[in-house]
Chains A and B, each alone.
Chain A
Amino acid sequence: MARAVTPRRMILTTIAAWGVALVIAFPVIWMILTSFKTEASAVASPPELIGASWTVENYVEVWSRSDYPRFFWNSVVISVGSTLLGLAIAIPAAWSMAFVPGKKTKDLLMWMLSTKMMPAVGVLIPMYLLFQRLGLFDTKIGLVLALMLMNLPIIVWMLYTYFKEIPGEILEAARMDGAALWNEIVYVLTPMALPGIASTLLLNIILAWNEAFWTITLTTTKAAPLSAFIASFSAPQGLFYAKLSAASTMAIAPILILGWFSQKQLVRGLTFGAVK
């Protein structure tokens, strides 16, 4: 029997939820506020809020000093491209692992995940050499491949978990009705796992958008995405916090908006199968 929710309990829960949300969002909120301060106000001690000097000059300078649209476009191509390519490979892989598992499937899944446990810098030199020899350095296709490979274990694992929730009998029925393998995956499995696929897609776009190690290391001028754009606003004499915050806000704004509009889908997908 479910416990009754009293008004007092409701208020306390709401306050606690808002408190936790505020703590989580505070760094981002502070960064956005800092981006509208003067440099002097940004580093003032104690930190200024009410009496701060506000300006949009940081955005003007950041925009005038960098080719933001190029960085933005590179980020879009790299994050969306790597995620779609990853899904194209992971959906059949997860299907086979979920519905026709072999003796070593569990081991294979664990091995895939173990590749995520190694620090990226451990494979820096081999990756660098490979990219040079294959002519992939500073190309969008190179980064699409690198980020797809990097996120593939997560995509496969997430899809595997979602697919496991779908009764195998439904796919069997489709097969008995004469559905070929391709049709079974495209017309039966995919629509049923759509919330899971959507949340996998969104989460991986966010992961790829925020990736900074490889995207900065494997690019120079042509394919550099927004992570490199942020890095270019850090100065050797110290961090110019206001300009750095403006650059960071401009870099995260698109993904923040995407996350805001797709939050229902994201939450639905992430909790898919959580309660049976």
Chain B
Amino acid sequence: MKMTYRALLGASVAACLSGAALAETTITVATVNNGDMVRMQGLMDDFYAKHPDIKVEWVTLEENILRQNVTTDIATGGGQYDVITIGTYEVPIWAKQNWLESLNDLPADYDIDDLLPAIRGGLTVDGKLYASPFYGESSFLNYRKDLAEKAGITIPDAPTWDDIKAAAAAMTDKDAGIYGICLRGKAGWGENMAFLTTMANSYGARWFDENWQPQFDQPEWKAVMTDYVELLTKYGPPGASNNGYNENLTLSLQGKCAMRMDATVSAGALTDPAQSEFADKVGFALAPDAGLGKRANWLWAWSLAVPASSDAKEAAKTFINWATNKDYIALVASKEGWRNAPPGTRTSLYANPEYAALPFAKMTIDSINAADPTNPATKPVPYVGVQFVAIPEFAGLATSVGEVFSAALAGQKTVDEALAEAQTLAVDEMTAAGYIK
């Protein structure tokens, strides 16, 4: 009997010890709702098979709510999130605040040198990588080849703004519901201002001079806004001032946009016959320039980072290594085809002959390589960022300016009024923030 008790006791202790050995670490991943992130959640079996000791819990939130919750958590040292999804705009700002853990110590198989240099540059501060890109994007032109052919025009692979204006005029047929060009008009720093900032870069305009003095009163901005309003008023869809990424993508999938300038990441949907009956008629070209040496394309990546407040940093890095590794891209390709592989992060993806054969692959990588976040405009600027200015004040300021420009597009203000108002807004904000002494 005594032996039985001892045996039971021994078994219990062994069970407890083995339980402790198998104790799992739970990490909370805060993410945004987009197709690639949802796809990753569906591929978690692969992660659990490789890392049975790590359990992943997901928090999916709207982008702005995610930003607010994560900043509150990091600022108070809460540690509620172990992995966060973060945009290229926040990375340099948050890294300078010491809110993010450096990822320079990821294992060798992560192959940091395989990251696309432009994308990596936007996520690196003082030589340290602070976020690992999950997918990257630039912007380019997509157009309907059949409509260009019908109009008797050829859209060059590297067009100028004059080419775009002529093509929009030639392909517009409003009676048939075909609009020459679709551009973002909805107000927001990530909506119309993302596009307008890149357009400004190509026109020789800039947000601020070297002394942080706003530049909306300069002739380059007037040229940008005049052409933008004219293009969309003459050749754009009705209600263009309400159209953002999603609305214009929908119009393009329906074949109603002869041309559209927007994120390269939408190429997969545009060339997918299941989503668009015009999939085999889509052509791609670089974003236009005005002959000044800068094209109107942006650079963005949704990346994964570890907040400094996380109490499970090692497990978080293990997860990031899995989710942003070359092996993960191969996993997506094996399950859902190369078309659905997360784009714009790794050189090796574009060296892969199967991926390179996709109609949008070359234009995507060329567009990404054409963007330079450290030197975005033709004139010198004191900031980093192509379609944004990487300072904390930018999101609020650009949203206010975006509302003014959206009103100009809607015909509620003249271009001159909108630019004067934008200049006042920017001067006030930059003075209050201490940039202008």
Let me know if B153 is at the binding interface, CB within 8 A.
no
- Which of B59, B75, B78, B237 is close to A137, meaning CB atoms less than 8 Å apart? B78
Q: Bound complex: CA of A187 vs CA of B34, how far in Å?
A: 56
Q: Which stretch from A26-34, A188-196, A237-245 is at the chain B interface?
A: A237-245
B57: min CB distance to chain A, Å: 4
Q: Would you call A125 and B32 a contact (CB within 8 A)?
A: no
A125: min CB distance to chain B, Å: 6
Interface string of A95-129 (1 = CB under 8 A from B): 00000000000000000000000000000110011
Let me know if B375 is at the binding interface, CB within 8 A.
no
- Taking residues whose C-beta sits less than 8 angstroms from the other chain, chain A's interface range is 20 to 34
- Which of A40, A138, A216 is close to B80, meaning CB atoms less than 8 Å apart? A138
B311: min CB distance to chain A, Å: 12
Q: Would you call B65 and A231 a contact (CB within 8 A)?
A: yes
Q: Would you call A231 and B246 a contact (CB within 8 A)?
A: no
Most central of B28, B72, B237 by chain A CB within 10 Å: B72
Q: Find residues 185-244 in chain A having any chain B CB closer than 8 Å to their own CB.
A: 216-217, 220-221, 224, 228, 231-240
Q: Bound complex: CA of A238 vs CA of B188, how far in Å?
A: 11
Q: Would you call A235 and B33 a contact (CB within 8 A)?
A: yes
B409: min CB distance to chain A, Å: 15
Using CB atoms, name the residue of chain B closest to A46: B238
- Which of A128, A232, A238 is close to B245, meaning CB atoms less than 8 Å apart? A238
- Which of A65, A137, A220, A236 is close to B32, meaning CB atoms less than 8 Å apart? A236
- Chain A residues with CB under 8 Å of B238's CB are 45
- Which of A217, A220, A221, A231 is close to B62, meaning CB atoms less than 8 Å apart? A231
- Which of A129, A217, A232, A237 is close to B69, meaning CB atoms less than 8 Å apart? A217
Using CB atoms, name the residue of chain A closest to B263: A237
Q: Given that A137-B80, A235-B33 are known contacts, is A43 also in contact with B250, CB under 8 Å in the complex?
A: yes
- Chain B residues with CB under 8 Å of A184's CB are none
Q: Given that A137-B78, A220-B80 are known contacts, is A232 also in contact with B246, CB under 8 Å in the complex?
A: no
Q: Find residues 23-63 in chain A having any chain B CB closer than 8 Å to their own CB.
A: 39-40, 43, 45
Let me know if A132 is at the binding interface, CB within 8 A.
yes
Q: Would you call B72 and A216 a contact (CB within 8 A)?
A: no
Q: Bound complex: CA of A108 vs CA of B237, how far in Å?
A: 58
Q: Would you call A232 and B61 a contact (CB within 8 A)?
A: yes
Q: Would you call A128 and B60 a contact (CB within 8 A)?
A: no
- Which of A124, A220, A236 is close to B63, meaning CB atoms less than 8 Å apart? A236
Q: Would you call A232 and B60 a contact (CB within 8 A)?
A: yes
Interface string of A157-169 (1 = CB under 8 A from B): 0000000000000
Q: Would you call A128 and B76 a contact (CB within 8 A)?
A: yes
- Chain B residues with CB under 8 Å of A138's CB are 80
Q: Given that A129-B76, A132-B76, A132-B78 are known contacts, is A238 also in contact with B63, CB under 8 Å in the complex?
A: no
Q: Bound complex: CA of A235 vs CA of B33, how far in Å?
A: 5
- Chain B residues with CB under 8 Å of A231's CB are 61-62, 65
Using CB atoms, name the residue of chain A closest to B246: A238
Q: Bound complex: CA of A232 vs CA of B32, how far in Å?
A: 8
Most central of A45, A138, A228, A238 by chain B CB within 10 Å: A238
Q: Bound complex: CA of A45 vs CA of B59, how far in Å?
A: 33
Q: Would you call A39 and B250 a contact (CB within 8 A)?
A: yes
B230: min CB distance to chain A, Å: 21
Q: Find residues 252-269 in chain A having any chain B CB closer than 8 Å to their own CB.
A: none
- Chain B residues with CB under 8 Å of A224's CB are 59
Q: Bound complex: CA of A65 vs CA of B41, how far in Å?
A: 10
B186: min CB distance to chain A, Å: 8
Q: Would you call A45 and B33 a contact (CB within 8 A)?
A: no
- Which of B73, B76, B254, B302 is close to A236, meaning CB atoms less than 8 Å apart? B302
- Chain A residues with CB under 8 Å of B69's CB are 216-217
Let me know if B239 is at the binding interface, CB within 8 A.
yes
B275: min CB distance to chain A, Å: 10
Let me know if B385 is at the binding interface, CB within 8 A.
no
Using CB atoms, name the residue of chain A closest to B62: A234
Let me know if B244 is at the binding interface, CB within 8 A.
yes
A141: min CB distance to chain B, Å: 17
Q: Would you call B59 and A221 a contact (CB within 8 A)?
A: yes
Q: Find residues 14-34 in chain B having any chain A CB closer than 8 Å to their own CB.
A: 28, 30, 32-34
Q: Would you call B72 and A125 a contact (CB within 8 A)?
A: yes
Using CB atoms, name the residue of chain A closest to B28: A220
B84: min CB distance to chain A, Å: 11
Q: Given that A45-B239, A234-B62 are known contacts, is A220 also in contact with B250, CB under 8 Å in the complex?
A: no
Let me know if B247 is at the binding interface, CB within 8 A.
yes
- Which of A40, A45, A65, A217 is close to B38, meaning CB atoms less than 8 Å apart? A65
Q: Find residues 127-171 in chain A having any chain B CB closer than 8 Å to their own CB.
A: 128-129, 132, 137-138
- Chain A residues with CB under 8 Å of B237's CB are 45
Q: Would you call B28 and A221 a contact (CB within 8 A)?
A: yes
- Which of A43, A220, A235 is close to B247, meaning CB atoms less than 8 Å apart? A43
Q: Would you call B239 and A236 a contact (CB within 8 A)?
A: no
Q: Would you call B61 and A128 a contact (CB within 8 A)?
A: no
B189: min CB distance to chain A, Å: 13
- Chain A residues with CB under 8 Å of B80's CB are 137-138, 220
Q: Bound complex: CA of A129 vs CA of B238, how far in Å?
A: 48
Q: Would you call A237 and B246 a contact (CB within 8 A)?
A: yes
- Chain A residues with CB under 8 Å of B253's CB are 40
- Chain A residues with CB under 8 Å of B60's CB are 232
- Chain B residues with CB under 8 Å of A132's CB are 76, 78
B272: min CB distance to chain A, Å: 14
Q: Bound complex: CA of A217 vs CA of B38, how far in Å?
A: 22
Most central of A39, A45, A138 by chain B CB within 10 Å: A45
Let me know if B81 is at the binding interface, CB within 8 A.
yes
- Chain A residues with CB under 8 Å of B254's CB are 40
What are 8 A-B pairs at a CB distance below 8 A?
A125-B76, A128-B76, A128-B78, A216-B69, A232-B60, A235-B246, A236-B34, A236-B190
Q: Given known contacts A125-B76, A236-B302, A237-B34, what 12 new A-B pairs fall within 8 Å (CB)?
A: A125-B75, A128-B73, A132-B76, A217-B68, A220-B28, A221-B57, A234-B61, A235-B33, A236-B63, A237-B249, A238-B244, A238-B246
Using CB atoms and an 8 Å cutoff, list the residues of chain A in contact with chain B: 39-40, 43, 45, 65, 124-125, 128-129, 132, 137-138, 216-217, 220-221, 224, 228, 231-240
Q: 6 nearest interchain CB pairs?
A: A238-B246, A234-B62, A232-B60, A221-B57, A236-B63, A235-B33
Using CB atoms and an 8 Å cutoff, list the residues of chain B in contact with chain A: 28, 30, 32-34, 38, 57-63, 65, 68-69, 72-73, 75-76, 78, 80-81, 190, 237-239, 242, 244-247, 249-250, 253-254, 263, 265, 302
